Structure 1
């Protein structure tokens, strides 16, 4: 594993999601970088959720669109 991702912005954010629907709570727990070969991701977790439910999403811009 290399540290080459430290100079690039993450391509995705990782969240722990508690609950469902409008009552759900999303907590950002880490980030992911797409591998250069397009075959996967390098993931950095700041915390690991106890329930094991992790959602990976592309970050949105301030106007609500995808980056």
Structure 2
């Protein structure tokens, strides 16, 4: 039997725009990522915003914060 309702999965990674270096860097959450289920060799990324400056960093979501709101570096 085929399921018609998709299973909701929480993001495994958070995507950040990082502006600056070291202690002066600003980390701004701009999206989320999900590891591929079958082989784990890739990810699906969803951006809420597209950064035009700085760099993009993808970090695992800590187990204590599965909602993806972790802003640690």
When normalised by structure 2's length, the TM-score is: 0.71
Runs of 4+ in 1 over 3 A off after TM superposition: none
**Runs of 5+ in structure 1 lacking a partner?**
63-67
Checking the alignment, whether the CA contact within 8 Å between 2:13 and 2:58 is kept in structure 1 is yes
Checking the alignment, whether the CA contact within 8 Å between 2:30 and 2:50 is kept in structure 1 is yes
Q: Which has the larger radius of gyration?
A: 2
| Matched positions, count | 58
Q: Which moved more, 1:6-15 or 1:18-27?
A: 6-15
Alignment partners' CA distance in 2, 1:52 and 1:23: 13
Residues 54 and 8 (structure 1), Cα distance of their counterparts in 2 relative to 1, 3 Å cut: same
Alignment partners' CA distance in 2, 1:7 and 1:16: 25
**Runs of 5+ in structure 2 lacking a partner?**
1-5, 66-73
Q: Looking at secondary structure, tell me which structure has more helix per residue.
A: 1
Calculate the aligned-residue CA RMSD, in Å.
Answer: 1.7
